[in-house]
Structures are given as C-alpha cells and as structure tokens.
A and B are shown apart, each in its own frame.
Chain A
C-alpha cells in the first residue's frame, strides 16, 4: 500500500468539509450496522427466554435476561446435534482431502517442462470454462453408489480449479535456487514440498484451506441432492427445513429412541441454530482475515 494515511492527511491535502465528514461517517456507520445488526439481534434472541421473545413479539433488540435454554434444548435433541456433528466431520475431512489433493496437484504443476505438464494443466484449466452439468454429475455420483454416503458431500466438490491455480501461482514464485540446492543435497520432491515449499506458503495455504472449509460447511444443495437419509443431514439442511421453511424436524421418522421429543420451533431455538451455523466462520475468521489484507489473494489473482 503506497498511500499510507495512518498519520492523517498529507500536507497538501485540504481537510474535508464538516458536512462531508459527517456524511462519510454516517455512511460507514450504516454499512457496519447493516452487517452487524442482524447478527446481533439473532444471537440475542437465541439467548433470550421464551417469555421475553413472546413479550417482544419477535426478534429481541434489547437484552432482558440471558439464558442458554435454547441451546440446551437443541443439544438435548439428537437431530440438531447430530447435524452439527455431520457438518463438522464433513468439513474437517473434506478440507483435509481438498487441501491435500490441491497442494500436491499444484506443486506437480508448478514446473513447466516436466513430463505431461501441459496436458495435466489443460485438464485443470478446462474446469474453469465448462461445467459438465448437474444431471451427468448426479448420475455419476449415483452410479458410484455414493448416494447417502458422506463422500457424496466431499468428492464431487473436492477439487477447485481456482484454488489450484492460486496455489500453483504462489509455488511458482518461490525462488527455484532454494529447490535446486535441496535437490542437489539429495532431497526428493515430497521432501522438498513438505520441508521447503509448504513452510514458505503458510499464509496462502491457510487462506485456501479457509475457502475449502467454508465451502464444505456452507454447502446445502449437494446434500439435498445426495442425502435422503435424514440421519445423515448436515446442518444446512436443518437450517432450510426448520428455520427457513418452519417445517418440523424429521425426528419422528428417524426413530432415534430416547430422544423422541422434538423441540417446538420457537424463535429462540431457530435463532440458536442460525447462531451455531454462523459460529465457525466467526471463530476462524479473525485468524485468517489479516492474510486477505496482506494481499495474498490479490497477489495470487494478479499472478
């Protein structure tokens, strides 16, 4: 960033008019409010008692007694806690698979002139410009017998051409003298990748990992397509059924004994589910966010 303004205005810069500064401040405040107000009232409602929610007649804006009742009810009900578990598992395993495959693939593609470099690159780049289509993809997953398997939520979306190209661009910028000297010392490719390339690419790998993780946690459509068994539903499907459409949860058909009692869809419980769905993004975000501003993504996009 060449135009640092941390210390304030440049000497040649005239101070803004009062009206201009108020307008700018007001606009910024409105923008921030538009993002944060919905999150605030959702979290607050999820933490409010049923009486408070009833008295207000909807979302709670002013705190009036904090209670964890909604969360307690959710986690005593097997459906939502199971969905949280499924989403977590799919996200963890999926991110590991995607990141592993992408890092290996990107490194393999990072040296032009090696054997089969161009055909392999061509294969990956084709994914940018053409999507084979929903129905053939569906038939492929079905014919592999992956319907109602957690792998159907991972494998079809495991490789993103965009992420591979970003990683590859980054790997290609690593000074090759480093790699050459390691090679002279007898290190193999796997060792070079693990010991030299990855430690130098921590930031970009973290950001790509975040992208994959967010994709898995958020995915909704693949699950509607491939998962019929309600016991295997990820959180996104619960959100849709229970929060957006206000349909009852499918416990009755699941027949999980012992937890047959379904929580009635009170607003507090709905909002607690929304809050749980938002939580992972909020937790990981601060750690990865600084890398966006460092320009990792921009650098990679610019090639």
Chain B
C-alpha cells in the first residue's frame, strides 16, 4: 500500500479531513509555495516536534518488542534480536490470557449495562417539558465527567467501602457492614457503576443532539393519527436515534480493548489481579514492574496493532452502512 493510499484511508475516517477549506492554489513551484506557506510550517513546528518525540520515536521504539531488551548492557541498539520469542511467550502466559479474557468480558458487560444508559438518560432529559429544569439537570449530570478517576474511586470508597456511608448506615440499623471496594466477585459491577456515574451524563450529549434534529412535525402527525407517547417514542424517536446508536456501537467495538486504564490500575491492589487485570495493566506490570521491558513492549504492541485493525474495521463498517466514521473518543 502506498503512502498516499494510507493517507486517504485515514483522512476519510475523520471529521473535517475531507472538507473543502478555502481554495488555495496547488500550482506553482515548490519555492513559490514555500515562500507563501512558510509561516504555516513555522506554526506547525511545535506540534510536529511533540508528535515526533512522543509518538513517532516511541512507535519506532517498539523494536524492543523483538529484542531481549536490556537497558543497561545493550540498550536499543545493542540488545540481541530474538524475533517473535516475546510474542510466543505472551500467548503461553496465563496472566496475559486472563488480561485478554477480563478485557473482553468487561467490554461485553459494559456494552449491555453501560451503553444503553446514556440513551435512556437522553430520552428522559428530552422528555422534560421545562427547558430550565432540563438545562439544570444536564449541568449536574455532566459534572462527574470532569472528575479524575482517583477522585471517583475515592468517592465510591467513601460511599460503598468498608468504612463508607452505606456500611455505616447498615451498621446503624443493626446489619453487618459491606465492602464492595475489595470484593472481587462484584468488581465488574463496581467498575460499571463507576463508569455510569462518571460518564453516562456526558454520554447523553451526542444523543440529545441527535434528538434535536428529529422533525417535530413527525410527532404532531403521529399524534393526530392517534399515536400516544410510547408509540411515538417507539416509531419516531428510536428510529431517529438509530444511526447514532449504530455508529457509536460500531466505534465502541473498534475500541473494545480499551476499558479504562487508571480506573483499573487504581483498584488492582484492592481486588486482586485475577479480576482486575486488563490489557493495559498487564503491560505495566509485566514490563515496568517486573523489569522485562521487551516483554511488556510486546504486549503493548500486540494491543496497539489489534486495536488499529479493530478501529479501521469499525470505520469501514460504519462507511458501509452509510455513516461517516466521525466520532472518536480522545
């Protein structure tokens, strides 16, 4: 595949990339264009320096995944190349298998128990008659999106931990306390609840925008024809939302290997690695904690490449369904 084909396949995927900006003549000798455009190149330079330093060089640094990397004796140039040994070892590592299974399990679980929540919340908000009340509730439910994961974990601990509010209330009423923060059996429920609390409100934005584009005349016509509330929701609102829902679902599947990094790092010691090991935590613990950097890099590279394939496939499916693959989580 030529570099040009690469550019095209990626630019198609993103918003604005194929838009026509102000027309600028493409003609002219290189020197003329340089004389005209050099200020733009100067402007792009800081960005390019950072992208080179913290994207390109680390991306190429992934060669250590194919090395028996030792930072002290060989470094990146002197360490022996061992081919795919690290990768072979990876697929025989029970902890890696566990990380893969946990990651996919959590993605699947949250697809069922998190994904519909913002949609339901958006429908609820949209049905609020008073505009002022709606704006107020929106403002409140967006808020936790801006809290850090450390904060969210701390808040959940204070609510549902062994010394938390719920345990305290239960004890006051003569029950035994609970501690959901260290219970590995309910961990998947806990992380999903945290995700709902933090991001479900923010997630409504895109659905509320889609709801606002539905033609109100459709509702009126349906009402005149005798369709009541629930029928209107079923036959007008939900079909109106369908393109957005399908698109976000596809893109979520393209992002299936990401279940949240800090959230799991923070709680790994409390519930144990058996249920909380995911792709990213595995990379950290296998590479940086045990010091086998080449091995950890192999796990990271594997995740990056599978993720790349999934994202490109998801965008292709979105295009095939006539959608622009526009929405991406940063």
Cβ of B47 and Cβ of A156 under 8 Å apart? Answer: no
Docked CA distance A59–B7 (Å): 55
Instruction: Return chain B residues, CB-CB under 8 Å to A24.
Output: 124, 127-128
Cβ of A161 and Cβ of B330 under 8 Å apart? Answer: yes
Docked CA distance A158–B157 (Å): 31
Cβ of A32 and Cβ of B137 under 8 Å apart? Answer: yes
Docked CA distance A297–B44 (Å): 23
Cβ of A293 and Cβ of B328 under 8 Å apart? Answer: no
- A262-287 contacts to B, CB under 8 A, are 271, 274, 277-278, 281-282, 285-286
Docked CA distance A6–B128 (Å): 10
Known: A140-B54, A303-B326. A135 touches B14 (CB 8 A): no
A contact patch SS: helix
Instruction: Return chain A residues, CB-CB under 8 Å to B293.
Output: 135, 139
Instruction: Return chain B residues, CB-CB under 8 Å to A18.
Output: none
Interface size on B, residues (CB 8 A): 127
Interface string of B133-146 (1 = CB under 8 A from A): 10101111111101
- A134-154 contacts to B, CB under 8 A, are 134-140, 144
How many whole Å from A36's CB to the nearest CB in chain B? 7
Known: A112-B20, A176-B22, A220-B148. A136 touches B62 (CB 8 A): yes
Instruction: Return chain B residues, CB-CB under 8 Å to A190.
Output: 39, 43
Sample of 12 further A-B pairs with CB below 8 A, known A122-B11, A236-B148, A293-B138: A16-B229, A42-B155, A121-B11, A122-B6, A123-B56, A135-B300, A158-B54, A165-B15, A220-B150, A239-B154, A286-B139, A289-B142
What are 13 A-B pairs at a CB distance below 8 A?
A12-B220, A27-B124, A35-B140, A115-B41, A116-B44, A118-B11, A125-B10, A125-B14, A135-B300, A160-B330, A211-B330, A239-B151, A301-B15
Which B residues form the contact surface with A (CB < 8 A)?
A: 3, 6-7, 10-11, 13-17, 19-26, 30, 33-34, 36-41, 43-44, 46-48, 50-51, 53-59, 61-62, 64, 71, 76, 121, 124, 127-133, 135, 137-144, 146-151, 153-155, 157-159, 163-165, 167-168, 171-172, 197, 201, 205-206, 209, 212-216, 219-220, 223-224, 228-229, 261-262, 265-266, 269, 280, 283-284, 287-288, 293, 296-297, 300-301, 303-305, 307-308, 311-312, 324, 326-330
